[in-house]
Amino acid sequence: MIFRNRSLARIGAGALLASAALTAFGSPAQASGTETDLAIEVAGTRVAANAQGKIAFAKVTNNGKNTPSELAVRVDVSKVDFDKVAVVPAVDDGCEVEGSDSKPTAFVCYAAKDALPGAGETIDLPLVLFRFEAKGTYKAPISFKLVSKDDTNPDNNTKNATAEFSDQSGPDLSVVAEDVKQAVKITDGNPTYSGDLYAGGRSALTYFISNQGDQAAAGLKITVKLPKGVTPIEVEKGCEYAADKSAFTCTYENFGLIPQDEDTNPDDQLYSAYGFYHVFDVAADVKPGTLKGGLVSVEPIGTASMKGMRTAAVTLPANVTGMQAKDVDNSDNSDGYAVIVAAKGGAGGGDDNGGGLPVTGAQTGLVVGIGGAVLVAGAAMFMVARRRRVVLVTPGDEKSAV
């Protein structure tokens, strides 16, 4: 891939770090008897007027009961003018290019064997949308096709979208919620994931919210829906819960996000992204399998200048209420997740003392803040390292023809 300016090269370098975060690579396996129903959706393809670019996602969900033996996504970008903008996979080495490197017509990206989505799970293909021209609007159609010999339903295998570089300014919030597969322990206020999650066990939902727009969001309104059989272990301050605790909404009127393009000072305590976690218990009578229906949604509350963000922690007067701002692209304001409950007798387990995957953070609710200067470059790495939702590999001799 040829990157034609330093900012885009930075994005590409960060995306390659995403592939390095994986512990294993491999070409799709050629197995049989794994028939299932795969579906594709696309989110986040609209860019704010003064934003340089953003990460969009093609989301592949397994609606069946079996894990496919192979999976590829073909992205048609033949209508995109690469002299004006770029629409490219975030992990360059994981995809084949059709056309030339400077003016591709399509990309075909393959999922690694150890990250193929199981029943109810989702993997994402991250795409970088980037403008070369500083100003002006631009639109181009892009299309996505899911390819797997194991898929039994072709009706949900394609999706058309528009790569739009708009003239609208405002916050552009994006949320990524990871599938939950492991048990969790809380140590010094941080969750550590280790071993399988069983019925009666404890884990945590982790998600990341970033602002890819060109204006700051003064506050956030976050709504979390939990799958049936999952209950939060505590009532958090500032959150309203349904009677059965199956859903809750947290309103942070003074907990805003600056645009990623403006997040260049690591010492100013202003952030363009936050990580959150909520600890929950799985009911003891839940059967092993995938608990579906989880959803995280976010809305911006008001807009603020950089100067305003420096005083955003001040509590609002009792007679002042935050107002919802208009989000530039609300297609990526929600993300679903599943909770996978293991059958006892398998490998792993919640009592595994062999370490685990820690989440760096402080209090419950706020896990991590990262600077916007590295957000676009690092967004794919967060996906891969934590949820392994994006696993792109260099195809080998065993792959099927697309």
222 strand-pairing partners: 250, 298
Give the pLDDT confidence of 39-74 residue by residue, as tens digits: 999 999 999 999 988 889 999 999 998 999 999 999
Integer Cα distance of 337 and 226 in angstroms: 9
Phi, psi torsion values for 262, nearest 5 degrees? -100, 0
238: amino acid identity, one letter: G
Banded pLDDT at 199 (limits 50, 70, 90): very high
| Average pLDDT for the chain | 75
SS3 15: helix
Do 169-370 and 1-168+374-402 have the same topology in CATH? yes
pLDDT at 94: 67
Phi and psi torsions of 133, nearest 5°: -85, 135
Residue 402 has pLDDT above 50, yes or no: no
Q: Is the pLDDT of residue 108 over 50?
A: yes
Spatial distance between the Cα atoms of 122 and 115, rounded to a whole number of angstroms = 10
- pTM equals 0.78
Which has more pLDDT, 326 or 300?
A: 300
pLDDT number for residue 192: 84
The domain spans of the chain are 1-168+374-402, 169-370
Contacts of 317 (CB under 8 A, 6+ apart): none
Query: Quick check: 136 pLDDT over 60?
Result: yes
Per-residue model confidence as pLDDT tens digits over 161-191:
999 999 999 999 999 888 999 999 877 777 7
Model pLDDT, residue 90: 78
Phi, psi of 390 (to 5 degrees): -120, 110
First to last CA, the chain: 21
List Cβ neighbours of 322 (8 Å cut-off, separation of 6 or more).
218, 219, 251, 253, 301, 302, 316
- State yes or no: pLDDT of 365 exceeds 50: no
The CATH number of domain 169-370 is 3.40.1530.20: no
> What CA–CA distance (Å, rounded) separates 19 from 134?
29
Tell me yes or no: is domain 1-168+374-402 CATH 2.60.40.1510.
Answer: yes
- Are β-strands 190-196 and 247-252 bridged in parallel, bridged antiparallel, or unpaired? unpaired
